[in-house]
Structure 1
Amino acid sequence: NYQAYYDLHHPKKRNWKRTVIGLAALSLTGYGLYYYYWPHHTFPTSVAKLLRKGLWAESNKENNNYAGALQFYIRALEECNNLEIDKLSDEYTGVQLKIAEMLEKLNLLEEAKNIYQELADLYLSTLLSEKIPIETRPHIIQKDLRIVIKLVHLSESDPTYCSNLLLTHCIKAQEEVARRGGSLASNDSIVHPSPKNHDLFISYPVNSQAWFPFRDEFFIARDLYISTCLRLGEHLLAIRSQITTLQWMVMADCDFPDIIMCQFNLGSLLYLQAEEYESRELNAKKNNNEKDIQLFKEEKDECLKSATFCYESILEAVKSFPPVISRDHPQIVEALALTTYSLGVINLHTGNLEKAKELLRRSRLRAKGINNEELVAEAEAELKKLEKEEKLLELKQKENN
């Protein structure tokens, strides 16, 4: 069923409450911090010497001696302190991150988290102080968000902490976008439209430069915030946040495949919320509560309508691309297969069997074209359900005749 498919295509160790981009984004974390792990900046000779020894110790040639490397990096940081190197500089924080990396490799995760937290606090206090030059703020925000993403990755067991951390640091990035002419409100409570509005994809003013160089980190953090909302049971907040994220991605001039995958995730969240309302509707029927029956039915129908709108908008948007581009872009092809499948499930759910059959067969064909065996299996499972529904209808018609 749709629930099983949603689970299937979300990262492992996560239930349906994790959005697909949220954890796919975490795979970028290593790359983001690697830039700072590798001491490619200009270091004083005494510091560079210790760093080279640390790099040698952690290499395969020294059998990955992380404990030995850690000692060299600690000494390098002490030397940075002796030389009074700026603690906000890439050089100083780069050494701190190498220490944290070694602690992680030694499975000393709490100690590593303490270093990341110290850095996050430093960056936030610096941004709050307004004392740094305007031209350096975007780079500080980029480094800050990378650290926050890493902290969330290490703190999955505490979603409340993750939510507060992400919201606090994302707000500073939002304020910076607004400061740079991005026409962006700085508070989630202000910018969230109602999930019932169907003007989600109207044109928004684009100012991509206002988001650089921290655009990618910001949207990774936003996706993680949505994931934490779901884990905390804040499903409607997650939907509103996904809507806002989608609007901001358009304003930030993100790549088209990323935007349509964000839109697909929104449709998935809306469908899952429809399932939740349907469950409440059934409970209300058991209790003969006519008022709640009507309320939850209306909410369910609205979510299904919005989810359908999301999916159909993706199909319409892809039509604007030349077929050769759509066909050769893996992410677009995958989005089309997923979207077609999702529309098929909705039509099956609402009893439109002929349309559901057409869509599910098309999604199966597209899934085969990209060798997505999991989606093929899910589409075939839904088609089997559809066949059973058709047989039941035939039996009912015979009985009535």
Structure 2
Amino acid sequence: MLKRVSFGKSVRLFRSSARSLQDSLHYFSDPNGKPVPHPSTYTKGRDYGHDQPPVPPVPTPTSKPFFTPFRIFALLTGLSASYMLFQDFYRFELDPEVFDLVRKGLEAESDKGHFNYKLALKFYLEALHQGTDFNTHTSILLKVCDMLEKLGLINEARLYHLDLISTTLYNVVNPTNKKELMDKPKAIKHCLMSLVKATELSQDASPSELEDLKTLFNLSLEAAAMTIQSQGGALQENMNQLIASQGQNPTELESVEMISRIWRNRKAASMFVDNMLDAMEVFSSLLLRMGDFGGAIKVKQDVVQYLMAMGEPIGDIYLAQSSIGSLLYLQSAIAEFNSENIKKKLGQGDDFQLTSEESSKLKEELQVCEAAAKSSLNAAQTIFSAIVNNNSSRFRSSNNMLVISKDGPQAAEEKILEKQRQSDYNLKQAATISKYGLGLVNLRFGRAQTARRLINEALTSSRGLEADLGFVEDAEEALRAIEQLQESEE
């Protein structure tokens, strides 16, 4: 209480002293000793006795708020960029040790760390053994594979990719948390990415290893389809049935046939649509390496159906269809080659003794080969003709409406235009390939004039494309064969 009184008195004394000082400053003395009012009272900024221009008042500084619209925008932009760069590792915040190891690995493999892939691999392996959730585990495992490949350890990278695939498939069959796998199909996406890489790194694989890869493709594509559409316990039951069927007959393409279930949920399928298509394209190439033309064509047909179900542009669909036509033509050529070899064996006569049983068996094989060659050639002609003669402009409006952007109408329109440009380019490629293929089909049927016209048109179209379609030399050779054929007929 005493302190409050003392403080109050001090304040009152200070105020009275200040008023006295202010009053005393209102008067000055001129050279004659007369009191003069303070200049600020009457002179408006002039010094008494001097004729000077008025001094403008100094503006009182005002404090600006820290969070201006520009600063808020810059902050949000920075946060968004950080999330996009580290979205694969966004859950590491739950484990600071793992996050720190991954951060060190990213720095080591960047230009900041002078591309030290060996050091980055060390950090990623340490993070991998810390024990994380499933999606985080596959994210780190992909980085490990990437570093191994950059270090030239190709076989080790392939083994790690196979480990990622098997781990993911095991998690699908025996999920510890089904809801997490359904809500976050990133693990399936990583599985498909590893399948593509493992196949690329298996150029010198043995036939048994190729069969294993084929089985993994079947299982992974089926897992992707079931992750999209499965409900409750149907996932494990369907997957167990598929594994049983693969164990009995690994050449069955059951998983690809089940891809049609994706049609029922386009939004879910869009989560890894590109990875799905890449995996199916690589799967088709793998089947071709194994000599399974029927399986490769079946996968290509499923790709076309998948594109149609997803509402993809007509150019993408026609480009996929043109590849089917090419495979059918190649299959017919191989069947015709086999039939010619069988005819040679049957026509050797005394030089090559055949039993009646062997002869009848060869004749049956000849009939099968000739039928396969004819049916494949007719199917290729149908596909090529449909692409060359069909007017695709009526498909554009309906397919463009499928492009939706969360960034607003302008961004959506830009995406529509970009998608349409790519579709038009793919359509030109498909038409060029189909003209060349249709020319070869007509050449096989003996229609030299039509074949020559179509092949010349294909060569002209190919010069306006950036992509190398790879048939220019073959087309020129085919034209020379046509000229020789016409000269012999004359």
Aligned length: 341
Alignment of 1:351-362 (within 5 A): 351-362=446-457
Task: Name 1:160's counterpart in structure 2.
Answer: 211
State whether residues 127 and 137 of structure 1, in contact with CA within 8 Å, keep that contact through their aligned partners in structure 2: no
Task: Name 1:58's counterpart in structure 2.
Answer: 109
Secondary structure in structure 2 of the residue aligned to 1:348: helix
Task: Name 2:385's counterpart in structure 1.
Answer: 312
Amino acid in the other structure paired with 1:120: I
Q: State whether structure 2 residue 132 is matched by structure 1 residue 132.
A: no
Task: Name 1:266's counterpart in structure 2.
Answer: 324
Task: Name 1:221's counterpart in structure 2.
Answer: 279
Secondary structure in structure 2 of the residue aligned to 1:89: helix
Q: State whether structure 2 residue 120 is matched by structure 1 residue 69.
A: yes
CA distance in 2, matches of 1:327, 1:73: 38
Task: Name 1:338's counterpart in structure 2.
Answer: 433
- Counterparts in 2 of 1:192 and 1:172: CA distance versus 1, 3 Å: closer
Amino acid in the other structure paired with 1:347: N
Amino acid in the other structure paired with 2:315: P
Q: State whether structure 2 residue 307 is matched by structure 1 residue 249.
A: yes
Task: Name 1:234's counterpart in structure 2.
Answer: 292
- Counterparts in 2 of 1:142 and 1:71: CA distance versus 1, 3 Å: closer
State whether residues 218 and 254 of structure 2, in contact with CA within 8 Å, keep that contact through their aligned partners in structure 1: no
State whether residues 442 and 448 of structure 2, in contact with CA within 8 Å, keep that contact through their aligned partners in structure 1: yes
* TM superposition score normalised by structure 2: 0.61
State whether residues 70 and 102 of structure 1, in contact with CA within 8 Å, keep that contact through their aligned partners in structure 2: yes
Secondary structure in structure 2 of the residue aligned to 1:329: helix
Shift of 1:362: 1.2
Shift of 1:72: 2.5
Shift of 1:391: 0.9
1:306-341 per-position Cα deviation (integer Å, ceiling 9, x unaligned): 011111222244543589968983222122111111
State whether residues 105 and 123 of structure 2, in contact with CA within 8 Å, keep that contact through their aligned partners in structure 1: yes
Amino acid in the other structure paired with 1:110: N
Alignment of 1:21-170 (within 5 A): 39=89, 42-43=92-93, 44-78=95-129, 80-81=130-131, 85-86=132-133, 88-90=134-136, 92-130=137-175, 131-133=177-179, 135-136=182-183, 138-158=185-205, 159-170=210-221
Task: Name 2:53's counterpart in structure 1.
Answer: none
CA distance in 1, matches of 2:445, 2:107: 62
- Counterparts in 2 of 1:116 and 1:364: CA distance versus 1, 3 Å: closer
1:38-97 per-position Cα deviation (integer Å, ceiling 9, x unaligned): 64665344433333332332233443222222223333344x43xxx32x133x433333
1:275-331 per-position Cα deviation (integer Å, ceiling 9, x unaligned): 111112212322156655444322211110001111122224454358996898322
CA distance in 2, matches of 1:392, 1:191: 51
Q: State whether structure 2 residue 406 is matched by structure 1 residue 348.
A: no
Amino acid in the other structure paired with 2:476: E
Q: State whether structure 2 residue 465 is matched by structure 1 residue 392.
A: no
Amino acid in the other structure paired with 1:335: A
Secondary structure in structure 2 of the residue aligned to 1:387: helix
Q: How much identity, in percent, do the aligned residues show? A: 26
* TM superposition score normalised by structure 1: 0.73
Task: Name 1:16's counterpart in structure 2.
Answer: none
Secondary structure in structure 2 of the residue aligned to 1:369: coil
Amino acid in the other structure paired with 2:145: A
The answer for unaligned runs of 5 or more in structure 2 is 1-83, 232-237, 243-251, 348-361, 397-416
Secondary structure in structure 1 of the residue aligned to 2:311: coil
- Counterparts in 2 of 1:336 and 1:321: CA distance versus 1, 3 Å: farther
Of structures 1 and 2, the one with the larger relative CO (CA 8 A, separation 6+) is: 1
- Counterparts in 2 of 1:177 and 1:302: CA distance versus 1, 3 Å: farther
Amino acid in the other structure paired with 1:69: A
Q: State whether structure 2 residue 461 is matched by structure 1 residue 366.
A: yes
Residue of structure 1 aligned with 2:373, choices 300, 303, 327: 300
Q: Which has the larger displacement, 208-217 or 165-174?
A: 208-217
How much is the aligned-residue C-alpha RMSD, in angstroms?
3.4
Query: Which has the higher Rg, Structure 1 or Structure 2?
Result: 2
Shift of 1:274: 0.6
- Counterparts in 2 of 1:343 and 1:125: CA distance versus 1, 3 Å: same
CA distance in 2, matches of 1:380, 1:225: 31
1:222-268 per-position Cα deviation (integer Å, ceiling 9, x unaligned): 22222222222222222233223322332233343332222111111
The answer for unaligned runs of 5 or more in structure 1 is 1-33, 194-203, 395-401
